[in-house]
Amino acid sequence: MKPIKLNHIIIILLLFLVSCDSGIKSGNEISKADLEYIRELGLINNNERIILFSSQGGNQKSGNFISEQRLASYWTENRKENNQINSAKYNEIDTLITKDLSNALTYASYIKVIKKDGSEFKVYVDDNIDKTNEFFERATSEWIKRKK
């Protein structure tokens, strides 16, 4: 009897892991509805293109991205006081610090964005080490190229 219960638990865990909409996507892979939601949050302009995007928990709940104009992160819940919506245009950024936690089971890697005004936030990335490093490198190169 115990092996059957264990098999059920393993199957449920695998289904949960497979169903999570995490990982890095190109901006072209984001639905129009999700792009409109991100616009409603005030994180992109109509003519702004998202380059890379990562989400933990679904695009309507969380998102982290590199665009042509900024780095941004959002986490929204039913209770608005818990919402976190952050972005920094490249010319507002003083420092980027990357932390690779791609080998950790329960933590996402992140870029700590420190703005020139002293405020800071994190852009979370949840993928394998190679894709995570590509995200970090792209964010850094976009910042260096566009921070003027």
DSSP state of 101: -
pLDDT digits (tens, 9 = 90+) for 2-60: 555 655 555 544 444 434 456 899 999 999 999 999 999 999 999 999 999 999 877 77
Model confidence, pTM? 0.81
Task: Judge whether 114 and 97 are in contact, CB under 8 Å.
Answer: yes
Task: Judge whether 71 and 139 are in contact, CB under 8 Å.
Answer: yes
Strand arrangement of the beta sheet that strand 109-115 belongs to: 93-99, 109-115, 120-125
